[in-house]
Amino acid sequence: MTNDNNKKDTLRRAWEKAAQKLEGYHIHIYVNPKDWKELNAANTLANNIQTLFGKDVKDVHTIRPVGPHTQENIAVEITKEGFGKIIPWLQLNNKENLSILIHPETGDLRGDHHEAALWLGKPVALNEQFFDKVAPKKANGPRQP
């Protein structure tokens, strides 16, 4: 029983340390700006998130292809407390099967957009050169902080 308690305490402390880095989440609803049906569906999703979960929405804005994003998208920034409400709603309401990236905001750009990322719909390629510039990988090891 003691080993189980020690393991549980170790895991709890590791989670508490990791959770301190978690500032919130970003939802990127990718769109083809020339596809009016897709653009309308994406705007409707973003507006509905803001209407239904306003206190958990930090910001909503359109992002052109910049940084790691190779495609225009509507970005919805949410609180960490809103994740458990907003993401299930989004999973059940992405009726047009839009490409949606959901990632934490911890300051680890590469890790947030890759290892910790969730996708709804078809994943969109990210600009890997961006990550190589801001968070290069170490040779034969983990990425640099």
| C-alpha pair distances (Å), 121 with each of 32, 96, 100, 128 | 14, 9, 6, 20
Give a yes or no: residue 54 inside a domain: yes
Give a yes or no: residue 50 inside a domain: yes
Q: Strand pairing partners for 143?
A: 137
CATH number at residue 118: 3.30.70.1240
Give a yes or no: residue 123 inside a domain: yes
Residue 31 has pLDDT above 90, yes or no: yes
Q: Which domain holds residue 127?
A: 23-134
Does the pTM of the predicted model rise above 0.75?
A: yes
Give a yes or no: residue 2 inside a domain: no
Give the count of beta carbons closer than 10 Å to the beta carbon of residue 76. Answer: 26
**Number of independent structural domains in the chain:** 1
Structure confidence by residue, pLDDT tens digits, 89-116: 999 999 999 999 999 999 999 999 999 9
More reliable by pLDDT, 121 or 136: 121
Per-position DSSP letters for 57-73, written without gaps between them? EEEEEEE-S-TTBSS-E
